[in-house]
Amino acid sequence: MSTINNHVNLDAKFQQGAQLQQNGNLKDAEYSYLDILKTHPLHPGANTMLGIIYIQTGRENEGVKLLEVSLTQDVKQFWAHNALGVGLLNLKKYQLAVSSFNRAININPSYADAYFNLGKAQRELGKSRDAIVSYSKCIELDKNYAAAFNNRGTIFLEDLKDYDKSLENFQQFIILAPNSSLGLNNLGNALYKLERYDEAKKFYDKAIQLKTQHNKKTTEKKNYEDQISKYRKDIKLDPDNAKAHLKIGDIFRKLYRIDEAVQNYDLAIKIKPDFVQAHINRGIVFIKQKYYDEAVINFSQAIKIDPNNIQALRLRSAAFKELDMHADAIKDDERAVDLNPDTLYLLGSLLDSKMKICNWENFDCQINEITKKIKNEEHVIGPFLAIAFFENPKLHKFSAELYNKKNYPLNKFFPKIKKYPKHEKIRIAYFSGDFRNHPVSTLTAELFELHNSNKFEVYAFSYGAKDFVTQRLEKSFDKFIDIGKIPDNDVVLLGREMEIDIAIDLSGYSGDERVGIFAGKVAPIQLSYIGYLGTMGSEYYDYLLADQHIIPNNMRKWYTEKIIYLPSFQVNDNKRAFPDKVFLREDLGLPSKGFVFCCFNNSYKILPSTFDSWMRILSKVDDSVIFLLGPNKNVKDNLQKEAIARDINPDRLIFGENVSMSDYLSRFHNADLFLDTSPYNAGATASDALRSELPLITLLGNSFASRHAASILRAVGLPELIARSTEEYESFAIELATNPEMFQAIKAKLRKNLSSSLLLDTKLFSKNLESAYQKIYHRYQDGLGPDHIYIK
Neighbour-count burial of 232, counting CB atoms closer than 10 A to its CB (0-12 exposed, 13-18 middle, 19+ buried) = middle
Q: Are 560 and 537 in contact (CB under 8 A)?
A: yes
DSSP 8-state assignment for residue 323 = T
| pLDDT value at 293 more than 60 | yes
| pLDDT value at 215 more than 60 | no
pLDDT digits (tens, 9 = 90+) for 659-678: 888 999 999 999 999 999 99
Give the separation between CA 506 and CA 436, rounded to whole angstroms.
Answer: 13
| pLDDT value at 352 more than 80 | yes
pLDDT digits (tens, 9 = 90+) for 574-590: 999 888 888 999 999 99
Give the separation between CA 730 and CA 718, rounded to whole angstroms.
Answer: 17
| pLDDT value at 2 more than 60 | no
Collapsing DSSP to helix, strand or coil, 185 comes out as helix
DSSP 8-state assignment for residue 533 = -
What confidence tier does 412 reach under pLDDT thresholds 50, 70, 90? confident
Average pLDDT over residues 293-299: 96
Beta bridge partners, 526, equal: 503
**For position 218, what pLDDT does the model report?**
55
Average pLDDT over residues 617-635: 95
Average pLDDT over residues 449-478: 95
Radius of gyration of the chain from Cα atoms? 31
Q: Are 283 and 298 in contact (CB under 8 A)?
A: yes
Query: Pick from 790, 784, 331, 395: which is nearest to 565 by CA?
Result: 790
**CA geometry: angle at 742 spanning 672 and 675, to 5°?**
35
**For position 254, what pLDDT does the model report?**
84
Average pLDDT over residues 188-192: 86
112: left (phi over 0), alpha (psi -120 to 50) or beta: alpha
| pLDDT value at 316 more than 80 | yes
494 versus 572: the higher-pLDDT residue is: 572
Q: In what order do the strands lie in the sheet with 596-599?
A: 653-656, 625-629, 596-599, 673-675, 696-699, 722-723
Q: Are 227 and 247 in contact (CB under 8 A)?
A: yes
| Beta strand pairing call for 653-656 and 673-675 | unpaired
- Single pTM value for the model: 0.73
Collapsing DSSP to helix, strand or coil, 628 comes out as strand
| pLDDT value at 216 more than 60 | no
**CA geometry: angle at 662 spanning 656 and 668, to 5°?**
50
Please measure the distance between the N-terminal and C-terminal CA atoms of the chain and give it in whole angstroms.
83
Q: What is the DSSP string of 340-372?
A: -TTSTTHHHHHHHHHHHTT--TTHHHHHHHHHH
**For position 397, what pLDDT does the model report?**
97
Q: How far is CA 729 from CA 612, 628, 646, in A?
A: 12, 18, 19
What confidence tier does 720 reach under pLDDT thresholds 50, 70, 90? very high
DSSP 8-state assignment for residue 24 = T
| Beta strand pairing call for 696-699 and 673-675 | parallel
Collapsing DSSP to helix, strand or coil, 708 comes out as helix
Average pLDDT over residues 184-191: 86
Give the separation between CA 558 and CA 561, rounded to whole angstroms.
Answer: 9
183 contacts: CB under 8 Å, gap ≥ 6: 146, 150, 170, 173, 174, 177
Compute how many other C-beta atoms are within 10 angstroms of the C-beta atom of residue 775.
Answer: 15
Mean pLDDT of all residues in the chain? 91
Average pLDDT over residues 302-312: 97
What confidence tier does 658 reach under pLDDT thresholds 50, 70, 90? confident
**For position 135, what pLDDT does the model report?**
94
Query: Pick from 134, 135, 189, 131: which is nearest to 157 by CA?
Result: 189
Compute how many other C-beta atoms are within 10 angstroms of the C-beta atom of residue 580.
Answer: 8
Q: Are 650 and 644 in contact (CB under 8 A)?
A: yes
| pLDDT value at 5 more than 50 | no
Give the separation between CA 609 and CA 597, rounded to whole angstroms.
Answer: 17
Give the separation between CA 451 and CA 413, rounded to whole angstroms.
Answer: 34
DSSP 8-state assignment for residue 159 = I
pLDDT digits (tens, 9 = 90+) for 128-147: 999 999 999 999 999 889 89
| pLDDT value at 177 more than 50 | yes
**CA geometry: angle at 533 spanning 553 and 391, to 5°?**
75
**For position 4, what pLDDT does the model report?**
35
Q: What is the DSSP string of 373-390?
A: HHHTT---S-HHHHHHH-
Give the separation between CA 96 and CA 374, rounded to whole angstroms.
Answer: 72
CA dihedral 502, 685, 403, 523 (to 10 degrees): -10
**For position 577, what pLDDT does the model report?**
86
Average pLDDT over residues 543-549: 98
Write the secondary structure of 535-582 as one string of H (helix), E (strand) and C (coil): CCCCCCCCEEEECCCCCCHHHHHHCCCEEEECCCCCCCCCCCCCCCCC
Alpha helix ranges (H) inside 423-562: 439-450, 468-474, 488-497, 515-519
Mean pLDDT check: name the lowest of 286-295, 305-314, 518-527, 560-569: 286-295
**For position 368, what pLDDT does the model report?**
96
Give the separation between CA 223 and CA 35, rounded to whole angstroms.
Answer: 29
pLDDT digits (tens, 9 = 90+) for 118-128: 999 999 999 99
Mean pLDDT check: name the lowest of 229-233, 364-368, 592-596, 721-725: 229-233
Query: Pick from 384, 318, 361: which is nearest to 528 by CA?
Result: 384
Neighbour-count burial of 376, counting CB atoms closer than 10 A to its CB (0-12 exposed, 13-18 middle, 19+ buried) = exposed
Compute how many other C-beta atoms are within 10 angstroms of the C-beta atom of residue 202.
Answer: 17
What confidence tier does 8 reach under pLDDT thresholds 50, 70, 90? very low
What confidence tier does 3 reach under pLDDT thresholds 50, 70, 90? very low
Average pLDDT over residues 625-648: 95
